[in-house]
Amino acid sequence: MPRKSNKPENENAAGKVKQPLSVPDKAEWGGFINIRLSDEQKEDFFSWYAENPVGAGAMLDDLLGAGAKVTLAFDAQNGCFIASVTGALLTDSPGVRFVSTSRASTMTEVIALTVWKHFLLVRGDYGNYRPRDNNFMSWG
């Protein structure tokens, strides 16, 4: 049987890569974070998206490199794509697993919306959007 490593779980074998959003497989469950955008925030997103139609891919690379788990799915019932980001999303709760979702009509748009929310709206800390209820919209 292999022995346990003394290295932190969020470092690679060389000990050089730190993944701040990574959580251990058995991390405590914190809940779902559902960010509801105001009309002004929606306008901000669409302006950014029009100016950065291909920038979302590189930002997704950065999000994944930071240790977040990102999944994509199609919600046939609501006719939208869903992107879920899982990881240590609250800086005041390190090591606790949270999930934030985004919804949009195309896969490209939902990826862009997801990275826009993470890097530009919440700046990597979802603390102002702690879970409150379980109602979901078909865009946002």
Q: In a structure prediction context, what are the per-residue pLDDT tens digits for the chain, which is 140 residues long?
A: 555 555 555 555 556 678 999 999 899 999 998 788 999 999 999 999 999 888 999 999 999 999 999 999 999 999 999 999 999 998 888 889 999 999 999 999 999 999 999 999 999 988 888 765 544 444 45
Residue 59, domain member (yes or no): yes
> How many domains is the chain built from?
1
Nearest to residue 37, comparing CAs of 96, 121, 106?
121
- Phi, psi at residue 50, to the nearest 5°? -65, -35
Residue 72, domain member (yes or no): yes
Helices (H), 54-125: 55-65, 107-116
What does the DSSP 8-state code read for residue 17? -
CA distance 124 to 117: 9
Model pTM above 0.85: no
CA distance 67 to 109: 22
Residue 26, domain member (yes or no): no
Find the domain containing 97 and state its range.
Answer: 31-129
Residue 73, domain member (yes or no): yes
Residue 79, domain member (yes or no): yes
Residue 114, domain member (yes or no): yes
Residue 11, domain member (yes or no): no
Residue 121, domain member (yes or no): yes
What does the DSSP 8-state code read for residue 140? -
